[in-house]
């Protein structure tokens, strides 16, 4: 099983709403990531969790709040978003950094539209 599962696939939310994106993997990976991708642009790193601890926050606005409840799950809580936050949000995972040849597996993404 090399799947990273993201839900929901599509989300439309208002600027005053609170919603969450969810990501799950059962490959025993200990590094998990959130990326944001705008149309025709490369993915941009938002957060990295390593062994369930926030390792990197790429100066992401506080209206995005990540959470890693356990080694298999990664959430992204959304609150008071702006229309420019509309994008594809990609979750990814990989083995811990002591291994070699770590492939990073991406989920199918969650398409977010803020209205």
Partner 1 sequence: ELKVEQNPLFLSMQEGKNYTIYCNYSTTSDRLYWYRQDPGKSLESLFVLLSNGAVKQEGRLMASLDTKARLSTLHITAAVHDLSATYFCAVDIKRDDKIIFGKGTRLHILP
Q: Which backbone phi and psi does 44 adopt, to 5 degrees?
A: -115, 130
Radius of gyration of the chain (CA): 14
Complex with partner 1: residue 32 or 81, whichever CB lies closer? 32
Query: Is residue 95 close enough to count as binding partner 1 by CB under 8 A?
Result: no
Structure tokens at 44: 């941009």
Query: Is residue 77 close enough to count as binding partner 1 by CB under 8 A?
Result: no
Q: How many whole angstroms separate alpha carbon 11 and alpha carbon 25?
A: 21
User: Which residues lie closer than 8 Å to 65 by C-beta, 6 or more apart?
Assistant: 76, 77, 78, 79
**Among 20, 55, 65, 72, contact with partner 1 (rule: CB under 8 A):** 55
Q: How many whole angstroms separate alpha carbon 9 and alpha carbon 2?
A: 18
Binding-site residue total for partner 1 (CB under 8 A)? 24
Complex with partner 1: residue 44 or 67, whichever CB lies closer? 44
How far apart are CB 11 and partner 1 at their closest, in Å? 15
Query: Is residue 59 close enough to count as binding partner 1 by CB under 8 A?
Result: no
Single out the segment in contact with partner 1 by CB under 8 A; choices: 12-20, 39-47, 65-73, 76-84: 39-47
- Helices of type H across 39-96: none
Query: Is residue 90 close enough to count as binding partner 1 by CB under 8 A?
Result: yes
């Amino acid at each position: 099983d090399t799947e990273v599962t993201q839900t929901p696939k599509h989300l439309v939310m208002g600027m005053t709403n609170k919603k969450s994106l969810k990501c799950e993997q059962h490959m025993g990976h200990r590094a998990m990531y959130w990326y944001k991708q705008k149309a025709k642009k490369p993915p941009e790193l938002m957060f990295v969790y390593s062994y369930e601890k926030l390792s990197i926050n790429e100066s992401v606005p506080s209206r995005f709040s990540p959470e890693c409840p356990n080694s298999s799950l990664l959430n992204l809580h959304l609150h008071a978003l702006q229309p420019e936050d509309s994008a594809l949000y990609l979750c990814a995972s990989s083995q811990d950094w002591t291994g070699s040849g770590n492939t990073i597996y991406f989920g199918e993404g969650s398409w977010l539209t803020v209205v």
